[in-house]
Structure 1
């Protein structure tokens, strides 16, 4: 039952789409057939009109009139009609006397010539004698070739006759068959006289009445054909301009000039295939949609079942919430202890690596360096003021000694583990102090760091001196990065948001390679090529910030600059009040 309903729905939709698609295809096909009808009518009319006036024009010639009245030689009329037929591209041109006997013809010198033949039984002769003009389509009784006959009455010196022209329309039929144009031409009685389909020739569109059959037999219009026994082409009488046959549909129209009927047909097999294809696609799409809806409904039921189970589980979860809360508290305390232990282990590991070396360097070098600097200062005082070279050498030696003192100072700062004392500070103060500290270095390079402090306080729980050390280290690194850049610029920004204070130091220096970024905060790692750096600055900054629950983030584009972001939690209201 569950499978039958979707199949019924798909069948109903497919039938509906088939009907709509078939109607659309039929409408499109009829429009195309109308265009074919119009082109075919114009082609037939053009061919007929080409020779319509030829009998009347040729009848005005004196040789034709003399031949009809018996006052002139018939041979001259024969040659004249022969030349006119050749120039006008008419199949035959011939002259009949009042009894319907041919007395002159364009084919006078051919075995199947018309001279001596009597055509009084032909309708075109009777109509021309009675009304002055006559026309008729039929198979020639002499040649056995079909053609369209146009006739004009001729009156000459008391004699009366008819001048007729026979047109061969087979060229049109050949063109239709070559172009695969499914068209046909029927006479005023509904008999197909020309057709792109050979099996349609000399078949009636609808059953012919006995009177019409008798008249066609008298006029011998289609002598030698099976017109009387051949079945009609149309399954039903034409509905306005629509006609239908076995396996085809068509459009029909009547030519006013000749009374003939033009039929443009098209096979219905292709149209049925298009409609069936559209119906099949629609049925498949319907089945797919039904499957999607069914899948969605099953998914909804599964979700509802899971929600029901979740409610049951929630009751069990509440029962254990109290136990879990106590377990969480215990684990939290364990994590705090473990973090403290890990920090101590990390520091111990660093000190194990630097222990003996740092202590020996600081102890053994600090005092000799201080003594050497004092000695050089005394020597500098005793040197003759005019001896500039010696004074310069002593100053250079003192500079090297101060460099070694800075190295021992960095080692002592990195190896010492201070207690992170916190107090409520305004970050604007340490930033301003750090800018003032690095101003001599900035002036030497020719760069002025840009800093626009915020109007409101940026209060955090940290140490003012250690935060000043962090900012100064970042500024000195930025100054070193832009020292040799022509477009040097350093920007310092201090903002707040999401409970955090953010300090950004951005420069337009050479930047840091992407492969070096993960290692820049490691101890003794440096990208400076001068050898003046121990690679401890960023490591010390990261250690200081970790004591204040802060972070250090570095982004850089090689050749464009570096951006260092320091993030420290803002002081809470209760912390500010306690401070």
Structure 2
């Protein structure tokens, strides 16, 4: 009964929450849409301020570059001369051609010269059918302004050429007398061509609010507001625009933010809506407006609002799911409480068994640690025992090696005494030197035996491989000589350093050499071959004998403790096992294989050390 009631309350609460969220989303959409649209419209207008500056500065630059041309042209003497003598058939054609060349050089539409009555005497377009020569332009403001003010400017549709342009004029002086006016006309159609590549609409209006320039050809000579009668009279008197083409655009303006308006234009195709940016060109009396279509901004605003509504609805769905899950969670919590109580009882029952098992495990771990310490101690003792066993095996050969120098020392001493009795001092000194050499030889053998017999330390560091191999060979020399073994070994010139311990590595090499002699004990002429190889960052020493080789069973158990192929009483089978562990402690490997031409090959592979001197390696031991 409790579970059903909890589920019913959860579903009812989830449904009410969903209704509230949907209502909130709809209300927020209706309230926020106008503000959101206004925001995006303002942002769209702000982004186009750079376009307005570019268009305004381009027009202003074109006008300022041309404004000074009439004054400069008026200083030409030929212009005053033709105005004084307009019927001179040799001078006027020359002046016409000069004006034509100048217009091409300066990239202006037309240049023409008028007398004080406004009659054109010479013009750059004298070759065209629409030539200005013989035409009167006294009705144009730029002409009257040039005569009265010293400078004239005007924009209009050409009555002769039919082209829209901007006119600049300056008076022509002969001494102090004004004898005429020179005028320059530039075309602004190129700006409209450039503006057509923009998604915006750009319009230039004069003080009468008539559109003079625009990339919208259908808006030319249209007015954005009603024209006063005085403005219409001025347009008619100056023939600035064709009166039959003037028309009023149906527009509505609404203030958006300071500096930006919302402009609606009604036409045959419906209503177009723009956000405006307006700049001034004071010298020309023009207003330049960039009209940005509102549709992209409105679409962006509505998409943003739709996204917000979707997020709210999504949040509502999540809330509904949360409430449903919460109802289920309450039910599950009750079940989990019952299961937890049952689990706690089971845990309490098994905790006692687990504690007992943990106690037993701790005891086993301690026993294993004690066993491991004993094993390491036993291994170290076995290593020392193996070395002492090897010393015992070499004792016979070493005693013979010591007897020879001792016999020689005795003979040299007796001879030295005899030489001294006979006053042969030089011969006695030579015998004493030989005695010293014999003593050095016995000391060297004793040093190697002492180093070999002592317990090594556990430190591992850089050691000279060839020097260790030399010590091992010198230590085994008596045994090799006693066995009549032939040694094949080409010593590398440069020393090779490896990571390891000098005494323990010497023990490994002595053990391999000793095993090689034991493997060839039945041969009359045993041969041992030693090879030192360098492979990248590894160094390898190979010891090859010419014995019977190794069987598959022997290779499988070669490095096992107490495994031996020697006859009873000649070994415990620990030498190779100990050597294997020593090399592994150095980070290397000890391996064995059969040679294709017979015999066995044992190889010791070690890592090369960093650049350290052999003396440092010796000190580390």
TM-score bin (small chain) = 0.5 to 0.7
Query: 1:395 aligns to what?
Result: none
The match for 1:284 is 310
Contact kept? 1:200, 1:233, Cα under 8 Å: no
Contact 1:55 1:163 in 2 (8 A): yes
CA contact (8 A) 1:241 1:252 kept: yes
Q: Give the corresponding residue for 2:63.
A: 48
Compute the displacement of 1:150 (Å).
1.0
Q: Does the 8 Å CA contact 1:187/1:259 hold for their aligned counterparts?
A: yes
Find the partner of 1:255 among 263, 268, 281: 281
TM-score by length of structure 2 reads 0.51
Counterpart among 98, 103, 118 of residue 85 in structure 1: 103
Deviations 1:126-165 (A, max 9, x none): 2222222221111111121111111123343755432211
Structure 1 residues 66 and 310 mapped into 2: Cα distance closer, same or farther (>3 Å)?
A: closer
- Structure 1 residues 532 and 261: CA distance shift in structure 2, 3 A: closer
Worse overlay, 200-209 or 305-314: 305-314
C-alpha spacing 1:238/1:94, structure 2 compared with 1 (3 Å): farther
Q: How does 1:111-190 map to 2 (within 5 A)?
A: 111-156=129-174, 158=177, 160-178=179-197, 182-190=201-209
Distance 1:236 1:69, change over 3 A: farther
Instruction: Write the deviation string for residues 82-138 of structure 1: whole angstroms up to 9, x where unpaired.
Output: 332232222111222233222322223322112222222222222222222221111
Q: Give the 3 Å change call, closer, same or farther, for CA 54–314 of structure 1 in structure 2.
A: closer
Instruction: Indicate conservation of the 8 Å contact 1:234/1:243, yes or no.
Output: no
Change (3 A) 1:448 1:274: farther
1:62-90: CA deviation from partner (whole Å, max 9, x where unpaired): 22212333477244443333332232222
Matched, 1:100 2:115: no
**Residue by residue, what CA displacement relative to the aligned partner does 1:213-247 show, whole Å, maximum 9, x if unpaired?**
232222221116532x3315563589753233232
Aligned positions, number: 375
Alignment of 1:385-534 (within 5 A): 434-443=375-384, 444=386, 529-530=557-558
Alpha-carbon separation, structure 2, partners of 1:325 and 1:39: 82
**Shift of the alpha carbon at 1:428?**
7.7
What is the CA RMSD across the aligned residues, in angstroms?
A: 4.4
State whether residues 18 and 278 of structure 1, in contact with CA within 8 Å, keep that contact through their aligned partners in structure 2: no
Give secondary structure in 1 for the equivalent of 2:139: coil
In structure 2, relative to structure 1, the CA distance for the partners of 1:67 and 1:243 (3 Å cut) is farther
List runs of 5+ in structure 2 lacking aligned partners. 1-14, 264-271, 357-362, 388-451, 459-497, 502-554, 564-583, 590-621
Rate the CA distance shift 1:53–1:430 in 2: closer, same or farther, 3 A: closer
Query: Is contact 1:204–1:233 with CA below 8 Å preserved after alignment?
Result: no
The aligned runs of 1:254-403 (5 Å cut-off) are 254-308=280-334
Query: Does the 8 Å contact 2:173/2:179 carry over to 1?
Result: yes
The Cα of 1:186 is off from its aligned counterpart by: 2.1
Matches of 1:325 and 1:134 in 2, distance apart? 108
Mapped contact 2:38–2:256 kept (Cα < 8 A): no
Q: Does the aligned pair in 1 maintain the 2:200–2:292 contact within 8 Å?
A: no
Give the direction of change, closer, same or farther, for the CA distance of 1:529–1:75 in structure 2 (3 Å limit): same
Q: 1:257 to 1:17 in 2, by over 3 A?
A: same
Structure 1 181/533 Cα, relative in aligned 2: closer, same or farther at 3 Å?
same
Distance across 1 between alignment mates of 2:369 and 2:100: 120
Q: How far apart, CA to CA, are the structure 1 residues paired with 2:255 and 2:368?
A: 101
What is residue 25 of structure 2 aligned with on the other side? 10
CA contact (8 A) 2:80 2:179 kept: no
In 2, Cα distance between equivalents of 1:325 and 1:30: 73
Question: Matches of 2:262 and 2:156 in 1, distance apart?
Answer: 26
* Rounded Cα–Cα distance in structure 2 between residues aligned with 1:238 and 1:156: 57
Deviation for aligned residue 1:427: 8.2
The answer (yes or no) to whether the contact 2:236–2:243 under 8 Å persists in 1 is no
2 CA distance for matches of 1:86 and 1:275?
51
What is the rounded CA distance, in whole Å, between the counterparts of 2:87 and 2:34 in structure 1? 73
* Larger deviation, residues 17-26 vs 133-142: 17-26
Structure 2 CA distance, aligned partners of 1:27 and 1:84? 47
Aligned runs of 1:219-234 on 2, under 5 Å? Answer: 219-223=238-242, 226-227=245-246, 229-232=247-250
Aligned to 2:417: none
Question: Deviation of residue 533 (structure 1)?
Answer: 7.1
Distance 1:234 1:254 in 2: 21
Q: Which moved more, 1:267-276 or 1:184-193?
A: 184-193
Whether contact under 8 Å (1:141, 1:220) holds in the other structure is yes
Matched, 1:210 2:225: no
Is contact 1:205-1:234 (8 Å) kept? no
Kindly indicate whether residue 210 of structure 2 is the aligned counterpart of residue 191 of structure 1. Answer: yes
* Aligned partners of 1:236 and 1:243 also within 8 Å: yes
